Amino acid sequence: MKKTLIALAAVAATSASFAQSTVTLSGTVDTGLEKRFSGDPMRMTSNRNGTSNWTLSGAEDLGGGLKAVFQVSTSFNTDDGTVTTANGLGNNGMFVGLTGGFGTLRAGRPVNTLFGNAMFANGTKGVSLHDSNTVLSGLVANAGNSVYVANALQYHTPRFAGFQVQLEYAPSEVAGADAGTGIAVRYDGGPLSASITSYTGAGTVGTPATLSPKSVTQLAAAYDFSVAKLFFTYRDQSGLASNADTGYAIGATAPVGPGSLYVSYNVREQAASDGRTIIGGYKYLLSKRTSAYFNVARRNAAWQGAAVTAAGGTGTESSTGYGIGLTHTF
């Protein structure tokens, strides 16, 4: 009898141990067709509506309200099977951390504080070379223009009356180079979300100037009116001429039929004529996890530049792009 009780106690202890630790496999598979601009051939591509990825995440209860957490997320191209960046494993975010009453601490390659507080109507990417993220990324060269930041230590405070402070430190790991830093104050309460972020990317001060770290100030807000949700993100970068240092994106999403409609207007200030794009799309929900989508974008000639030229376009006239696709999450 005693041995039986000991065995049962061991089983119970083992079950409790398992209950305190969880590991989850999740992800997204997104594939579609798109035409990016006049003269560009039709292309099969991935990651237009959502980033194709597989993600391992988990948590372990350490007791006293403290938990260990981790995430390893890797994105890939569904059209040819390649990994999307040279970073390989964990290119879609990777960290280990602790969370509890003190807040949350993460270390690794988490979401950049700047991008984590941006608020875009299209949410992800839209038509390649036309998305809101691309418009504003042009302003943050060497100031955190990656959605994820390497060698980063992040701390998020608990929320107080809807407010949270987020801090980031990323050592450059290069002698004589400055570390990257970020701070954001964010509010989420009821229909309103708003944030102000100051971010400076890691880099080397000196020559060439492109290596000098540049700081960005970002304001972002979103308000849900139930019938539609409005989004706004504004960025101002230091180290640029006053006629070429700002950019903004304003947009809206609205439930329409069995899906949602979005539209976004984006401006990047430039010395001559400002670059402008307008992006729209519709996501049709086939189920809670599967959706079909269509998106279209129009960009003026002033915004074209090297990106379109490198992709085979002239870069001297306005262009229209469009795409369709299917997204499944698991």
d(CA 19, CA 320): 53
Give yes or no for a contact between 133 and 164, defined as CB atoms under 8 angstroms apart: no
Within its chain, how far is the Cα of 92 from the centroid? 9
DSSP conformation letters of 253-270: EEEETTEEEEEEEEEE--
Distance from C-alpha of 214 to C-alpha of 143, rounded to nearest angstrom = 5
> What pLDDT shows up at residue 86?
60
Residue pLDDT, tens place only, 158-194: 999 999 999 999 998 888 778 889 999 999 999 999 9
Q: Where are the alpha helices (DSSP H) in 78-224?
A: 113-116, 132-137
Q: How far apart are CA 198 and CA 151, in angstroms?
A: 18
Q: Which residue has the tokens 């950049």?
A: 112
Residue 116's closest CA among 140, 149, 94, 91?
A: 149
Distance, in Å, from the CA atom of 250 to the CA atom of 242, rounded to the nearest integer, reads 21
Residue pLDDT, tens place only, 215-273 = 889 999 999 999 999 999 999 888 777 887 888 999 999 999 999 999 999 888 878 88
Residue 311 has a pLDDT of 55
Quick check: bond before 208 cis, omega within 30?
yes
Please give the backbone phi and psi of residue 140, each rounded to the nearest 5 degrees, phi first. -120, 35
Question: Which residues touch 14 (CB under 8 Å, ≥6 apart)?
Answer: none
Give me the mean pLDDT over the 4-22 stretch: 51
| Residue recorded with tokens 């069995």 | 258
pLDDT, tens digit (0-9, with 9 covering 90-100), for 197-224: 999 877 654 444 444 556 889 999 999 9
Rounded Cα gap, residues 330 and 52, in angstroms:
11
Distance (Å, whole) CA 128 – CA 196: 28
- The CA-CA-CA angle for residues 71, 77, 79, to 5°, reads 150
pLDDT reported for residue 307: 53
Compute the chain's Rg from CA coordinates.
22
Name all domains of the chain by residue range, CATH numbers in brackets. Answer: 42-329 (2.40.160.10)
Inform me whether the pLDDT recorded for 10 exceeds 60. no
Q: Is the pTM of this model over 0.75?
A: yes
Which amino acid is located at 282 in the chain? Y
Q: Give the DSSP H or E segment for 203.
A: none
Closest Cα partner for 193 from 164, 158, 213?
164
- Which residues have a Cβ under 8 Å from the Cβ of 304 and sit 6 or more positions away? 313, 314, 315, 316, 317, 318, 319
Buried/exposed 110-147: b ≥16 CB within 10 Å, e otherwise: bbbbbbbbbbbbbbbbbbbbbbbbbbbbbbbebbbbbb
Reply yes or no on whether the pLDDT at 283 is more than 70: yes
At residue 290, does pLDDT exceed 90? Answer: yes
Write out pLDDT tens, residues 28-82: 999 999 888 777 888 898 877 888 999 999 999 999 999 999 999 999 989 888 8
Whole-number Å distance between alpha carbons of 45 and 78: 7
Cα distance between residue 32 and residue 99, in whole Å: 38
Tens digits of residue pLDDT in 128-151: 666 666 656 655 544 445 788 889
